[in-house]
Structure 1
Amino acid sequence: MSWLRKPLAQVADLCLGKMLDEKKNKGDPMPYLANVNVRWGEFDLDSLREMRFEPNELDRYGLKHGDIVMCEGGEPGRCAIWKDEVPGMMIQKALHRIRPGEELDYRFLYYSFLYKGRNDGFSGLFTGSTIKHLPGQNLAKVEVRYPSRPEQERIADTLSAYDDLIENNRRRIKLLEESARLLYREWFVHLRFPGHEHVKVVDGVPVGWERKFVPDLIAINPKERIERGKEAWYVPMAALSETGMTVDRGDFERRTVHTTVKFRTNDVLLARITPCLENGKTGFVYFLDEGDIACGSTEFIVLRGTSVSPYFVYCLARTYDFREHAIKSMIGSSGRQRVQVGCFDEYWVALPPSSQLSEFDGSVAPMFKQIAVLDQQIERLGQARDLLLPHLMSGDVVSSTESLEAT
């Protein structure tokens, strides 16, 4: 059966979000999505902001289940399906809302966009020389090629099976990391460790514990060497998450010219520049083979445990007090301020006896290892989906059962 071809404006309703203007905007404060909240296939909802919307703007700028939210700038064309994750969600002007008509399955339309994005299918519609944009009049011209509605649903079901597994893994990763960080806070911040009822605290330190400064426990920017001209992974700042330890390997590069920032498995990467540190960018290096060394952004600080485990180091680096101490040390011009590495010389940690540390490590190490396994599964599932994508979008359909068994 032949597929139809129509411009997007004929098969979907398009709307650009509302301009953020605190002086002119009126109405009630409501959460909204900005460009930074939209990733390929998912939303980052941990740093939502609010702006004022009037009652007559709710339909125009509001989201419904099945709407596709697409970036107008930044990485134009990047998009995800809205599934009512947060009630009453609105959109800012940096985003397009695409609401498919009855001819289209919203999932099929999303995968059409994903296919175009993977193959630079939007690039001919961009404006701007340095910062790219996809204006509404150009988005309206995007050609949508589609089969019958039942065939769309079959294709979408096949691809969604992969994304459902990916989303399930992401939820499990989030729960595992939350558990590890909660345990750290309970034991080492709030000092509610096993048996704490019978231990006296003097000047903020339980009896039997030691007050140690960070350099006594953690090597800051440890020296590593990569052979000149040898190919190695480069990890940019964009790869780090603002909320969790996992990294986006899609942003990695293989390079033969290396930066001065080098690290290995189990190191912790901490952003040192504003606003990346304030936004939470911190990563745990679980993605390298044992013995491999990678390089990264010169705006990373590398933390490596010497007297404590890498799990302890990561959880410490995620605490509010540790980050605030680093932020207060920042110097430099507005918008380019950086942490002074020497600030950690003055930050002390209450260090428990080795038996207490071992008990903590024994509890959280399986969580960290499971996160690494789940993230590797996410990568393989994404690769398998992307291999199927061109075949399915050209009509060479593989059943969902056969596809998933092939992975």
Structure 2
Amino acid sequence: MTATFSSVTQAFATDRSGGHTAVSDERAGTGRAVAGTGATPAPASRPHTRDHRVDALRGLALLMMFVDHMPQNLLNRLTLRNLGFADAAEIFVLLAGYASWLAYGRGFPKNGAKTTFIRIAKRCCRLYLAQTLMLIVCVVTIRTWRNYSPVPVDFLEPELAHGFSDFWRVLVLDALPSNLNILPLYMVLLGAFPLIYLLIRANRFLALALSMALWALININPNINFPNWLDPDGWYFDPLAWQFLFVLGAGAAVEAGRHNGDLPAFPWLRIACGLYLTFSLVEAFPWTQWGLPVIAPLALPSPDKSTLAPLRLLDVMAIFYLVQSSSLARRFSETRLGQALALCGRHSLEVFTVGTILDLFGRLIFTTFGDAWPFQIVINVSGLAILYGVTVIYERKRVRVKAAAAA
């Protein structure tokens, strides 16, 4: 296992081109700016250091989502959902916007509109296939498990539990079951990316202002939402509100590209972010679950997730700013643990798909056999090991394909 880990991470660490977090284009832009001032630009053959922070943060978010989707899992007391107002879903969507700009925003001028449109369409198709696979596995598994042991009704909406007559509604995204609602959001946002790209290229601050205005409107009137046949309130992740987080991620990628992958480090802003996250931690921490006295000064209710309430938005923005402006975070992403997390982030769709299916089996085992410590240890250790194994398999495949193409 150690040899496998070393070989994969070595191949990953030495990859200087491709991928969602490569920074060669940003450095080339910096070189041109320096040349314009009369300074000597860096040689074109100079090796570039890959920034793994975004991949590592996304990998960490995916593992937290795996833990969070099992309510009986005691490990979720240590994830973001209980350590602040935001949780892993906000991190996932913000980084989706960031990665989309690096993958497709730079692709429009580099590869042309037609090629980039095709790449976006293919990615959306892969998301749809993953969504369909998870749905079929969940429905078949739950209906089979019920033949041997009772399963709570909230594991699957009653409309899907008693037959397939309305299954078509799920396939056309007219109905979104619980725990299977974030990939449809990603599909909608990615489908809208060409429009987001045009707005950002025209005027980045105007694009952010328009996106923020739409987000504010949804927070004022939460009834504006996409229809969901399974829920009269609409999509759990309202795309009209969550698009702001996606656009913020794309805008952050543009800004980071001008500073070698870093966001500008302002000491006063880092202090403000740290203070806000401390406040968020004190307010959201599950004091009673740990048998501790509640010391939250305001005892605020959980901010609304469907509309991406302001407290949640500020929370995820503070986390991302501290990570992407930190040299310490960059160094951590180069460690063995950071590289393992980055591998999960690089293969996010595969990790999320397998993790969602493992979540279902974990919930069924906890419900049927109990959530004692032996089951807690087995489910968490085996689940995380399987997810890492998935990343190793897909990373080896990616390296082989790249080597074959180079040969």
Structure showing greater Rg: 1
TM-score using structure 2 length: 0.23
Judging by fraction of residues, say which structure has more helix: 2
TM-score using structure 1 length: 0.23
Judging by fraction of residues, say which structure has more strand: 1
